[in-house]
Amino acid sequence: MRSIFASANQWWVLVLLALAAGCTAPRSVINSGKVTPAGTFKAGVNFGGNIATEPISQLGDIKEAVVDAISNKGDVYYDEQIDVATKAMVAYALDPVGPNFDFYLRYGLVPRVDVGYKYAAGVHVLDAMYQFMGSTGTPESPGTDGWYGSFGLQYAGQSSDILDKLYLTKLQPLLQFTAKRRDFTIPLIFSKSIGVEEENGHFAFGAVYNHTFLEYGFAPSGLFKKVEDNSDVEVPSLAAKNNFPSFGLFMNAKFGFKFIYLLPALSIYYQDYGTYKFLEGREHSFSGMTFIPSLGLQATFGKGRGGR
CB atoms within 10 A of CB 2: 6
How far is residue 155 CA from its own chain's centroid? 12
pLDDT for res 80: 82
Q: How many domains does the chain have?
A: 1
Cα–Cα distance, 140 to 148 (Å, whole number): 18
Query: 78 in a domain, yes or no?
Result: yes
What's the pTM?
0.85
pLDDT for res 277: 95
Query: 124 in a domain, yes or no?
Result: yes
Query: 308 in a domain, yes or no?
Result: no
- Per DSSP (E only), the strands in 85-176 are 98-110, 113-120, 123-133, 147-158
**CB distance 28 to 184 below 8 Å:** no
pLDDT for res 70: 57
Range of the structural domain that residue 73 is part of: 2-301
Cα–Cα distance, 155 to 114 (Å, whole number): 15
Query: 248 in a domain, yes or no?
Result: yes
Query: 228 in a domain, yes or no?
Result: yes
pLDDT for res 16: 47
pLDDT for res 19: 43
Cα–Cα distance, 46 to 57 (Å, whole number): 26
pLDDT for res 266: 96
Query: 306 in a domain, yes or no?
Result: no
Domain CATH for 247: 2.40.128
Q: Measured at the alpha carbon of residue 128, what is the angle toward residues 124 and 131, in degrees to the nearest 5?
A: 155
**Contacts with 140 (C-beta within 8 Å, 6 or more apart), sequence order:** 304, 306
pLDDT for res 21: 47
**Burial (Cβ within 10 Å: 0-12, 13-18, ≥19) of residue 260:** exposed
Q: What strands, in cross-sheet order, belong to the sheet with 232-234?
A: 76-77, 223-226, 232-234
pLDDT for res 189: 98
pLDDT for res 63: 65
Query: 291 in a domain, yes or no?
Result: yes
Query: 182 in a domain, yes or no?
Result: yes
Query: What string of pLDDT tens digits covers the 308 residues of the chain?
Result: 434 434 445 544 444 444 444 456 678 899 999 999 999 999 999 998 888 898 888 877 666 556 555 556 567 888 888 888 889 889 888 888 888 888 999 999 999 999 999 998 778 899 999 999 999 988 888 888 899 999 999 999 877 566 655 666 777 888 888 889 899 999 999 999 999 999 999 999 999 999 999 999 999 988 888 887 778 888 899 999 999 999 999 999 999 988 899 999 999 999 999 999 999 999 999 999 999 999 999 999 877 655 55
